[in-house]
Amino acid sequence: MQDLLRAMGHPVDILGMTTQGDQILDRSLSKVGGKGLFVKELEVALEEGRADLAVHSLKDVPMDMPEGFDLACVMEREDPRDAWVSSQYATLQDLPPGAVVGTSSLRRTVLLRALRPDLQIEPLRGNLDTRLRKLDEGQYAGIVLAAAGLKRLGLSERIRHIFSTADMLPAAGQGALGIEIRTARNDVRQILSTLADTPTWLAVAAERAVSRAMGGSCSMPLAAHAVFHGPVLDLQAAWGNPDDLTAPLIRAHSQGEVSSLAEAEDIGLSAAKQLRAQGAR
């Protein structure tokens, strides 16, 4: 991001920060305030004028922006899929029954259980280095991480296998970067406009609309992923029950021609309606 802005002739300084989401590692995100913990301190810096913009992994951004803040730009998406990381096993299917798999996500938990109900799924918190260290120490037979994060940090060699979206449907916004600004900063909005990727923005708008309609919380075991086929946006969504290991996944599919954010959000609302009709709550 900073390289792109500098190439456009804008000076860039990085304001280093550690958020509450990075600091609280002994409890799941759903029990300590959700993914908004990764965003809150950055919004304070924007409000106080210490920062002009904040770059977020879009899957960590709450579905509704606080008053006075806007999502000003969504950049071209990196790989949205989930990655299997293990020093011993090439794929999830190679694991012996009862093996321990680490993940921080309720979504991944229900999808992993659907694929391998015989495995032991355990919480995994911390930044990327911490999670990899815990794996290397032998606390887990393997862990599941976002492929985009590993690739962006030059850690592609740690990926043993990338799950298909048919097996592990991504989270809403996964792989995309969203840039947040204060609503009044039209000067920054104008600068960012050339970095926006319209197909990505429309796809994630549909995905986030599903999540918003279902409650918009990280305590939801929800997956939503949209891709364009020509002018048609095709959205898949899935919902699982983390409290009932025998419950099947609930799935939804919605599609239509999309050229605006409102049309994309309608696709997402249609998928959410299908999920609720099948019992997702």
pLDDT, position 38: 64
pLDDT, position 192: 95
pLDDT of 25-83, one tens digit each? 444 444 444 455 568 888 899 999 999 999 999 988 888 889 999 999 999 999 999 99
pLDDT, position 25: 47
**CATH number for the domain whose boundaries are 2-78+172-277:** 3.40.190.10
Cα distances from 281 to residues 105, 149, 229, in angstroms, run: 18, 30, 30
Indicate the DSSP class of residue 183: T
pLDDT, position 249: 93
The catalytically annotated residue of 13, 22, 52, 60 is 60
Question: Can you tell me the distance from the alpha carbon of 76 to that of 60, in angstroms, rounded to the nearest whole number?
Answer: 17
Encode burial over 147-178: b for 16+ CB neighbours within 10 A, e otherwise.
bbbbebeebeebbbbebeeeebbbbbbbbbbb
Question: Can you tell me the distance from the alpha carbon of 221 to that of 112, in angstroms, rounded to the nearest whole number?
Answer: 11
Regions of the chain where pLDDT drops below 70: 17-38, 217-218, 245
Given this structure, which CATH class describes domain 82-162?
alpha beta
Q: What is the value of pTM for the model shown?
A: 0.88
Q: Which amino acid is at 58?
A: L
Active site residue 64: no
pLDDT, position 31: 47
Chain region(s) in the chain for CATH 3.40.190.10: 2-78+172-277, 82-162
| Residue whose C-alpha is closest to residue 210's, from 115, 131, 107 | 107
pLDDT, position 63: 86
pLDDT, position 218: 63
